[in-house]
Amino acid sequence: MHYRTLGRTGIKVSPYALGAMMFATSFGNPDPDDSARMIHKALGAGINFIDTADAYGDSEEVVGKALRGRRDDVVLATKFGRQVGDDPHHQGASRRWIATAVENSLRRLQVDHIDLYQLHRTDPATDVEETLSALTDLLRAGKIRAIGTSQSLASDIVEAQWVAEHRGLARFRAEQAAYSLLNRGVEREVLPLAQRFGMGTLIWGPLGQGLLTGRVRKGERNDLRRAHLLKHLSDERRLDVVEQLVPLAAETGLPMTHLAMAFVIAHPGVTSALLGPRTMPQLDDLLAGVEVRLTDDVLDRIDEIVPPGTNIGALDQNYQPPAVHDPAVHDPALRRRPLAERAAA
């Protein structure tokens, strides 16, 4: 396994990282011992980067138990910010919640520090200066080693970097972004910005959250457990593109999963891409592709099918700013003037 530096942190991580969301017993693998075996197998294959979150059910507990005696072998990342429980204060990026959330994660993971602590979603209700100030204090206290964000807009990345520089606060050192053969929008701004600011990138959804596994085909039934929950798995535009990628993978002699993962880690702005297996066979399949290297000809063919910087549809779980979110959830007034003020005269 080759290793890459996570931005300018000096932390060396594997190009494949292990995503632990599917190790949650409530909606992923119901057997924590099986999840532990997968974690140990990934470590044995050279993967040294594990990512989880406080919002992933009991994933942190499962990971923490599996890492007993092996903590020093792992770059451990977790996230905060999404709703946890029913209390309205148990979410967001305020100092109040961060101070509680980090202690909860440390306890569940059974560790004394977190290598990469990430804001799971932008919090429009909290000034980024407050967030960075609280995280800076945690860095100085030794409870975390580096800080990052997830699903940030390019403008949020720039604002956070500006605030950190002008207020003498710690900088976000990593961004976790959605990127795949189907969702290349981050190539326009987010990945170049990460490179410009010396940020590492951790990619989620490199398999299109199921569409690029080879198990989802147009006009055919599939056995994906999430198929009836996620709209992007039945988006006709996305399925049409998958039907163009399938023969390309066959021509190159690769499974779709290997083509998809190799494409993502070939970008110079990408540090690591997350594997998110639920079962051992899924992990075995993904590990079998660690040596795949796509040629320029194959990458050119991909560019013809999905032009650089474009998205084919959108992932259901991708972040949407409040002003363009579902009006049933957020206030349409964020994008509409009062009726009396809408005319030009």
Q: Which residues are catalytic?
A: 56
Rounded to a whole number of angstroms, the distance between the first and last alpha carbons of the chain is 65
The closest of 10, 14, 12 to 1, measured between CA atoms, is 14
Report the alpha-carbon distance of residue 23 to residue 40 in Å, rounded: 13
Distances, alpha carbon 29 to alpha carbons 78, 89, 109, in Å: 19, 29, 18
Q: How many CA atoms lie within 13 A of 282 on its CB side?
A: 21
Q: What are the tokens at 287? A: 């590990």
Strands 12-13, 16-19: parallel, antiparallel or unpaired by DSSP?
Answer: unpaired
Report the alpha-carbon distance of residue 275 to residue 93 in Å, rounded: 27
Strands 200-204, 116-119: parallel, antiparallel or unpaired by DSSP?
Answer: unpaired
> Residue 98 in 3-state DSSP?
helix
DSSP, res 171: P
Report the alpha-carbon distance of residue 174 to residue 290 in Å, rounded: 23
Q: Could you please report the per-residue DSSP string of 137-162?
A: HHHHTTSBS-EEEES--HHHHHHHHH
Please report, as a single letter, which amino acid is at residue 315: L
Report the alpha-carbon distance of residue 128 to residue 160 in Å, rounded: 6
- What burial class does residue 79 get, using C-beta atoms within 10 Å of its C-beta: 0-12 exposed, 13-18 middle, 19+ buried? buried
As beta bridge partners, residue 144 has: 114
DSSP H or E run through 178: strand 174-178
